[in-house]
Structure 1
Amino acid sequence: MPSNPSIDTGAVPLVELWRGDILESLHRGHAVVMRPTGEIVESWGQADAVIYPRSSCKMVQALPLLESGAGRDLLPEHLALACASHQGAEIHVARVAKWLADIGLGESDLRCGCQDPQDIAQRDHLIKTDRQPCQLHNNCSGKHAGFLTLNRHLGDDPEYTLPDHPVQQAVRQTFEEVTGMTSPGFGIDGCSAPNFATSLSALAFAMAQFAAASETGDGRSRAMTALREAMIQHPDLVAGETRACTDLMRAMGGRAAIKTGAEAVFVAILPQQGLGIALKIVDGGVRAAEAAITALLIRHGVLSPEHPIVQKYLGPLYSRRGLHAGHVCTAPGFS
């Protein structure tokens, strides 16, 4: 990929962590709120900062699955899993396994690699039964089940994660159309699929289009609507218990779809407001990204500041004995 300015160039303070009376951590980043017209509503840092969206763009990667017709028989829970970075819990693993079986494939056809489940119950079950994790436990196995479903439609070459494979070429073309930007290159994601770089504003623009999509629109609009609504309908499949995506979508009660990406990327789709949000914390701090997206969801009226879940991501910190130790808050000038 061509060289870019440092990701830190133009970054501004977004999130602070205070312990007692001392500022212990300061997280800088970039954030953009955009309309589907391309108008930037507000931004912090550099809107044109080039990033890897990582898993935050899974709903974009899933668009060819629906637009091709390959996913015509899929249920909303399949679409939620195609957009998911899941915990590897039983509700995720069993559904992906059945999806693959339904199209005549199995775990060995995946190319995402094995991963220890993040779900504690599933991890403990594997240990107690002396079993090893498999590719179904990979947090991206739902996305890859979608890739395999598309692959069956396009020609069935098994190495569907290769950058020049028809599946990934379809993803790249769609990604560039929806972001409105030619990607400057790609990196290999943790699940072995290419992850196409784009600017933060282009990513927010894509999310704004998902926000504006409707069931009465053209084929792409209908596909965007189906993916957005599947995420909202099944927040437990998009991530899992204890995870910010699931926690916050539940708390918003259908008012937004949100998705995290590795290295502290977060996006949000706000259908009622017709807004897309994208943010990146430059040091890769996940806690800061979760705090920042929580603040922006409150700012734009889709999350009540009084909801108990808010304090999990933006509020007081306690010791393991329950003593008040500090707090996480937004930096002056942000949200």
Structure 2
Amino acid sequence: MASAEPADPTPIGSSNASTGPTPAGPVPSSFPAEPVLAEIVRSGFIEGAHRGRLVLLDADGSIRLAVGDVHAPMLPRSSNKPMQATGLLDAGLDLTGAELALAAASHAGEPFHVDGVRKILAGVGLDESALRTPPSLPLDDDARHAELFAGSAPRPIYSDCSGKHAAMLAVCVRNGWDVAGYLDPEHPVQRIIRDAIERLAGEQIAYDAVDGCGAPLLGLSLVGLASAFRACVTAPFGTNAHKVADAMRTHPEYVAGTQQLDTLAMRAVSGLLSKSGAEAVHAAALPDGRALAFKISDGSKRAKPVILAEALRRLDVRSEILDQLGTLPLLGGGSVIGGIRAAF
């Protein structure tokens, strides 16, 4: 069950001026060795490991568990989307229900996702030609194969971030702001999103970069990311952060896809808010404010379900479906001879 985020084409700290990553604070000169979060065990032998950082927050926001440097800057990638969608509501976005969930989504390009993006755009008199997402094919296997067999080429609307971009464009039209330049970090819509992320995270942006979809990517610490998710689920009823969290939890299939990790996790655990990010980032929060965030150093997504399941178990969550998500067997000769296990 792959996460639905595009890879970032630009290394952090690149000197290429066209990409525009800018440090907003201290940035390490090299990637540090980090603790092991998951191990690959074959026939009782540990043949590999995934390292990273992880933080668990109690309901009151205090740190229950910290693995690695959870205060260091990191790039949340699409895990920032609930906070971005909150900022869009702050700016006047007029979406509810499934369409609001789609504004916070990394969708898999299934037909109902694509139809939803078209509906958001049509609501403000635009079509998909206004999107500045990179041309893509659907991430969902069935949807992608259908498009390929039909002879379709990659299109911006199939990007997993097209819901977020459509919502940004809708805000621009409603406020009379420039549509063509909506991805500029100094554009009003991006400034409002920045303010929302800092408010919900309780910290200043640690690093400015460019995400795979071309939108501004705002770096936080893992503590800040988990705190932002906690702020969304504990926000008072009727506030914009609460509206986003409710839309995502009510319509999880719009947040990711019918077979994606976020959708399956939110269906498995009542009230869970969950959002993946590229390069193996994940954040989640429970209705009472317990929250988690982690980043796997090598960007591999295969251990994410195992780490997410163990992190929720450490937060006292029990679910048979979650246990199934957290079991990744390894095969040898067609038989199970090992698996990937959490190691924190």
Task: Provide the TM-score with structure 2 as the length reference.
Answer: 0.87
Q: Does 1:101 align with 2:122?
A: yes
Q: Does 1:180 align with 2:202?
A: yes
* Structure 2 gap segments, 5+ residues each: 1-22
Match of 1:317 in 2: 330
Shift of 1:188: 0.7
What percent of counterpart residues are identical?
Answer: 37
Match of 1:219 in 2: none
Shift of 1:322: 4.0
Which region of structure 1 is more displaced relative to structure 2, 119-128 or 199-208? Answer: 119-128
- 2:231 and 2:58 map into 1 onto residues whose CA distance is 8
| Paired AA for residue 256 in structure 1 | L
Select the structure with the greater relative contact order (CA < 8 A; seq sep ≥ 6): 2
Q: How many residues align structurally?
A: 320
* Structure 1 gap segments, 5+ residues each: 217-221
- Deviating beyond 4 angstroms after TM superposition, the runs of 4 or more aligned structure 1 residues are 35-38
- 1:192 and 1:176 map into 2 onto residues whose CA distance is 20
**Is the alpha carbon distance of 1:14 and 1:134 closer, same or farther for their aligned partners in structure 2, counting shifts above 3 Å?**
same
Matched ranges for 1:112-261 at <5 A: 112-158=133-179, 159-215=181-237, 222-252=239-269, 254-261=270-277
**Is the alpha carbon distance of 1:83 and 1:315 closer, same or farther for their aligned partners in structure 2, counting shifts above 3 Å?**
same
Which region of structure 1 is more displaced relative to structure 2, 154-163 or 104-113? Answer: 154-163
Shift of 1:38: 4.4
RMSD in angstroms over aligned alpha carbons?
A: 1.9
Q: Does 1:296 align with 2:311?
A: yes
- 1:18 and 1:208 map into 2 onto residues whose CA distance is 34
- CA deviations on 1:80-137 (whole Å, 9 max, x unpaired) are 1011111111010111112211211110111112111111222122122212131111
- 2:209 and 2:342 map into 1 onto residues whose CA distance is 31
- CA deviations on 1:48-93 (whole Å, 9 max, x unpaired) are 121000000100011122123332xx22101110111111110101
| Paired AA for residue 261 in structure 1 | G
Match of 2:285 in 1: 269
**Is the alpha carbon distance of 1:312 and 1:208 closer, same or farther for their aligned partners in structure 2, counting shifts above 3 Å?**
closer
Shift of 1:176: 1.5
Query: What is the DSSP-based 3-state SS (H/G/I as helix, E as strand, rest coil) of the residue aligned with 2:243?
Result: helix
| Paired AA for residue 259 in structure 2 | T
- 1:70 and 1:315 map into 2 onto residues whose CA distance is 40
Shift of 1:7: 7.5
Query: What is the DSSP-based 3-state SS (H/G/I as helix, E as strand, rest coil) of the residue aligned with 1:209?
Result: helix
- 1:119 and 1:259 map into 2 onto residues whose CA distance is 17
Shift of 1:8: 4.9
Task: Provide the TM-score with structure 1 as the length reference.
Answer: 0.89
